[in-house]
Chains A and B, each alone.
Chain A
Amino acid sequence: MLLLAFDTATPAVTAALHDGERVLAESTVIDARRHGELLVPAVDRVLTSAGRALADVTGIVVGVGPGPYTGLRVGLVTAASFGDALDVPVHGVCTLDGLAWAAGEAGIDGPFTVATDARRKEVYWACYDGPAVRVTEPAVNRAADLPQDVLALPAVGAGAALYPESFTDRRPEPAHQSAGSLAALAAHRLAAGEAFAAALPLYLRRPDAQVPAGYKAVLPT
């Protein structure tokens, strides 16, 4: 097994290779504005440093968000294109699940919350019972509007760090999304024979689109 994993749903542009046992190589760059420019070079870097060819890859793992749309789409269209060109399966994994798995690797267990930055003063969030068990659907809300029992849980992710007045039990690790953790979670699911979600974007918001309020006259009325 050779999994190529990447995620562009957060400010991190992260790519990794995983052989089913361990992470062979990982590249993570934090640059919220250049996902499209950095992703393929990052993939090239991990392949080169692991001494493997893209043709050896047996599956693609991609973070499906939730995340700000423009960056999120870079990862998803890249995954779909690799999947088609290489004729390998594409496994979609919720970006928050990848962070939860990384939280487990950092030593967190029991119930906790993952929150990332959704901009517009909101967070993308979900609750977990251990690193591999998500117990709520991913959602987008203002941090202050989350239930008190959710806010009281240990919390990881940039969304928690942004709203310290709401998330009162913040944990520093993981600070960013890691494709290595995402790949490790996918390898765990593959080994357990679990099914993957389709690699479709979790936008969680409708597109911003104003229907023009009728035709605006130019003559003074």
Chain B
Amino acid sequence: MADEPLVLGIETSCDETGVGIVRGHTLLADAIASSVDEHARYGGVVPEVASRAHLEAMVPTIQRALKQAGVSARDLDGIAVTAGPGLAGALLVGVSAAKAYAYALGKPLYGVNHLASHICVDQLEHGALPEPTMALLVSGGHSSLLLAPDITGDVRPLGATIDDAAGEAFDKVARVLGLGFPGGPAIDRHAREGDPAAIAFPRGLTGGRDPQYDFSFSGLKTAVARWVEARRRDGQDVPIADVAASFQEAVVDVLTRKAIRACKDNGVDHLMIGGGVAANSRLRSLALERCEGAGIRLRVPRPGLCTDNGAMVAALGSEMVARGRAASTFDLPADSSLPVTEVSVPGHTHEHTHDHVHEAGRENLYG
């Protein structure tokens, strides 16, 4: 429908420069420039390398998205941008660009939360989100269970990782196995040839007294490293496929088990899974199997929309416009530790309520 909000979204919280354009629930453009290859030799994302790449890619990626969508910047109803959480210097490039375009074009600016965007992107794939929505977000930076009665204003954290994010565990285990960075796709590939029951790796925080919805992947990662090192020390070959499959099974077993438990406990009959790890083939198949068994409808966007991208930010921005949510002011800060409960940031005119975290996150903003 032509009267649905046309919004451009900018995402620069990590190593992808993403610009998406949506009209309501329809994806018109999803342009991405990634600096992942530049980080590979460091075995992880280097913030300064990512920020430099964002600056180079920003305007060309916006131009590409507008061209792809076949719309003029003048026709936009708003510009949305990831205000946090993420890498401070990287976020700042996207936020500054969004402000400049919004100010120059006379469009409202929406500083939005990266996590809420990961959930909202599914509207582009499967239509309007049910209310409330149960979401499992898993990536290299986050592992959370979120209950969202209103994606534009009410997102509640049920649980999160207490140590490593799920994607981080994939990267670290890939390093142990010598599979390179990023680890997720490599582990997924090797696991297909392996036996997921070959090695009994621990399932973190699944005891009767453990927090029901929190995750822990640090112990699992260490257990895998110990197992592999012990084999090597004894001069035995390491069965990479079996290790990858067994490790991956331990991760997705816990993720899906807890997500379904959260759905049941809260009377929610569907589950949304997003974030880079949602591209993992075993997570997708096990989630589907368990959701079907529990009478829960599974919503997982295609892999390209699960990883960080601009379309997800545009999707949330469009929903903000449709629901008449307040725009941000032009002194909008980039907030590396933006809490998940802050779906959007109205700007500095209203002082923040989490100043302690905020100040800490701001330390590296200069220099």
B288 within 8 A of A: no
User: Smallest CB-CB separation from B103: which chain A residue?
Assistant: A40
Contacts of A218 in B (CB 8 A): 222, 225-226, 229
Q: Which of A31-39, A155-163, A177-185 contacts the other chain?
A: A31-39
Q: Which of B74-127 contact A (CB under 8 A)?
A: 88-89, 92-93, 95-97, 99-101, 103-105
A81 and B52 within 8 A (CB)? no
Contacts of A36 in B (CB 8 A): 92, 95-96, 333-334, 365
Instruction: Knowing A70-B364, A209-B48, A211-B42, say if A78 contacts B331 (CB, 8 Å).
Output: no
A63 within 8 A of B: no
CB-CB nearest 4 A-B residue pairs: A81-B100, A85-B104, A207-B48, A209-B46
B49 within 8 A of A: yes
Count chain A CB atoms within 10 A of each CB in B73, B92, B229, B348 and give the residue with the most: B92
| Cα distance, A203 to B49, chains bound together (Å) | 12
| Cα distance, A80 to B98, chains bound together (Å) | 11
Report the minimal beta-carbon distance from A39 to chain B, rounded to whole angstroms. 7
Chain A interface bracket (under 10, 10 to 19, 20 to 34, 35 or more): 35 or more
Instruction: Knowing A37-B331, A207-B49, say if A81 contacts B97 (CB, 8 Å).
Output: yes
Q: Which of A71-95 contact B (CB under 8 A)?
A: 71, 73-74, 76-78, 80-86
| Cα distance, A82 to B55, chains bound together (Å) | 14
Report the minimal beta-carbon distance from A196 to chain B, rounded to whole angstroms. 17
Number of B residues contacting the other chain (C-beta, 8 Å)?
Answer: 49
- List, sorted by A's number, 7 A–B pairs whose CB atoms are closer than 8 Å: A36-B96, A37-B332, A54-B103, A70-B92, A70-B364, A209-B42, A219-B225
| Cα distance, A54 to B330, chains bound together (Å) | 15
A212 within 8 A of B: yes
User: Quick one: which of A40, A203, A219 contacts B100, CB cutoff 8 A?
Assistant: A40
User: Smallest CB-CB separation from B99: which chain A residue?
Assistant: A40
Contacts of B225 in A (CB 8 A): 217-219
Report the minimal beta-carbon distance from A81 to chain B, rounded to whole angstroms. 3
Report the minimal beta-carbon distance from A167 to chain B, rounded to whole angstroms. 22
A43 within 8 A of B: yes
Instruction: Knowing A70-B366, A78-B96, A208-B48, say if A54 contacts B331 (CB, 8 Å).
Output: no
A212 and B43 within 8 A (CB)? yes
| Cα distance, A114 to B42, chains bound together (Å) | 36
B48 and A35 within 8 A (CB)? no
| Cα distance, A215 to B63, chains bound together (Å) | 41
User: Smallest CB-CB separation from A215: which chain B residue?
Assistant: B175
| Cα distance, A160 to B230, chains bound together (Å) | 58
B88 and A84 within 8 A (CB)? no
Contact flags A16-52 to B (C-beta < 8 A → 1, else 0): 0000000000000000111111111101100000000
Contacts of B230 in A (CB 8 A): 219
A39 and B96 within 8 A (CB)? yes
B333 and A37 within 8 A (CB)? yes
Count chain A CB atoms within 10 A of each CB in B43, B63, B175, B330 and give the residue with the most: B330
B257 within 8 A of A: no
Count chain A CB atoms within 10 A of each CB in B229, B331, B366 and give the residue with the most: B366
A154 within 8 A of B: no
Instruction: Knowing A40-B99, A69-B89, say if A84 contacts B48 (CB, 8 Å).
Output: no
B89 and A85 within 8 A (CB)? no
B96 and A119 within 8 A (CB)? no
Contacts of B222 in A (CB 8 A): 218
Q: Which of A1-28 contact B (CB under 8 A)?
A: 11
A77 and B331 within 8 A (CB)? no
B58 within 8 A of A: yes
User: Smallest CB-CB separation from B45: which chain A residue?
Assistant: A209
| Cα distance, A218 to B222, chains bound together (Å) | 7
Report the minimal beta-carbon distance from A26 to chain B, rounded to whole angstroms. 18
| Cα distance, A38 to B329, chains bound together (Å) | 11
Count chain A CB atoms within 10 A of each CB in B62, B100, B230, B330 and give the residue with the most: B100
| Cα distance, A85 to B96, chains bound together (Å) | 13
Contacts of B233 in A (CB 8 A): 219
List 20 additional A-B contacts (Cβ < 8 Å) besides A74-B92, A81-B58.
A35-B365, A36-B365, A54-B103, A68-B367, A69-B48, A69-B89, A70-B365, A71-B366, A73-B51, A74-B96, A77-B54, A77-B55, A77-B93, A80-B58, A80-B59, A209-B49, A212-B44, A215-B175, A218-B226, A219-B225
A77 and B100 within 8 A (CB)? yes
B330 and A41 within 8 A (CB)? yes
Report the minimal beta-carbon distance from A75 to chain B, rounded to whole angstroms. 8
Contacts of A81 in B (CB 8 A): 58-59, 62, 96-97, 100-101, 104
Contacts of A68 in B (CB 8 A): 366-367
A148 within 8 A of B: no
B41 within 8 A of A: yes
| Cα distance, A203 to B103, chains bound together (Å) | 27
A201 within 8 A of B: yes
Contacts of A210 in B (CB 8 A): 42
Contacts of A32 in B (CB 8 A): 366
